[in-house]
Amino acid sequence: MPKIFILSAFSFLLEKADHYLLPCPFKYLTGYDCPGCGFQRSLLALLKGNFQESFHLYPPTVPILLTLIIGLSANYFWGSKSKILINVLFMITGSIIMISYLFKIFTPVVH
């Protein structure tokens, strides 16, 4: 019974989280999306279980989270021996972010 209550409270918080998203200062100043625009909304969609919506909002969300989890775990368990793995993960994730950003900039928006 307590698990159901906790999940219910968690889902209530996720529904209200949309009102507390941080605005992008780069977009505010320039009017253009930055390479990270959409991450917060995508993460919320992922936490709600909407994988397709999450990918549509910001494709690099899952690679960023995997890099974070694997990088922290590798650093904790292997220490400085994990430096190459972490650098490779950062390069792959950074490439995914840049490809996604370039795709967003150079493809027309279809409504």
**Structural domain boundaries in the chain:** 2-106
Using a cut of 0.75, tell me whether the model's pTM lies above it: yes
Residue with tokens 């967003």: 104
Burial classification of residue 23, based on how many CB atoms lie within 10 Å of its CB (0-12 exposed, 13-18 middle, 19 or more buried):
exposed
> Tens of pLDDT along 73-109?
998 998 888 899 999 999 999 999 999 999 988 887 7
pLDDT at position 17 over 70: no
DSSP per residue, 4-36: HHHHHHHHHHHHHHGGGPPPPHHHHHHSS--TT
